[in-house]
């Protein structure tokens, strides 16, 4: 079981994803905004992984990743980008998110598998 920090500004996606992660056996703390995520991360250290919506309002997911990396409590926290806007090609720190392997199949099952790998 992993402690997951889930950040998504879309309430429906956030709730659905949190429920699926909880069914998968994970403890999930959700945040609706990047500012809330930073506060939660500071108040509840010890997350195993952060699941981060790439398309957040400012700061966006890429900028939030930079802020997490600058914070001593979250500098080494594994981050998984997860977005409902899979058709939108973009890149983060040189990683192409347009790779079809990142968006095909069953995204929630892929997310669960990724979290499992990162939290061991």
What are the tens digits of pLDDT across the range 8-23? 998 998 999 899 999 9
Q: CATH number of the domain at 3-118, out of 3.40.250.10, 3.40.50.2300, 3.30.70.260, 3.10.28.10? A: 3.40.50.2300
Domain limits, the chain: 3-118
Sign of the torsion formed by the C-alpha atoms of 82, 87, 92 and 94: positive
What are the tens digits of pLDDT across the range 73-91? 888 888 888 776 554 444 4
Global pTM value: 0.78
């Amino acid at each position: 079981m992993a402690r997951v920090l889930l950040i998504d500004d879309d309430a429906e996606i956030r709730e659905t994803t949190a429920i699926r992660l909880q069914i998968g056996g994970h403890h999930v703390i959700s945040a609706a905004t990047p500012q809330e995520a930073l506060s939660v991360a500071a108040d509840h250290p010890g997350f195993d992984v952060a699941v981060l919506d790439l398309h957040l309002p400012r700061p966006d997911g890429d900028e939030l990743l930079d802020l997490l990396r600058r914070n001593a409590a979250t500098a080494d926290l594994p981050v998984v980008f997860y977005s409902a806007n899979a058709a939108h090609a973009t890149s983060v720190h040189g990683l192409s998110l347009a790779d079809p392997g990142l968006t095909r199949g069953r995204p929630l099952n892929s997310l669960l598998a990724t979290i499992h790998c990162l939290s061991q």
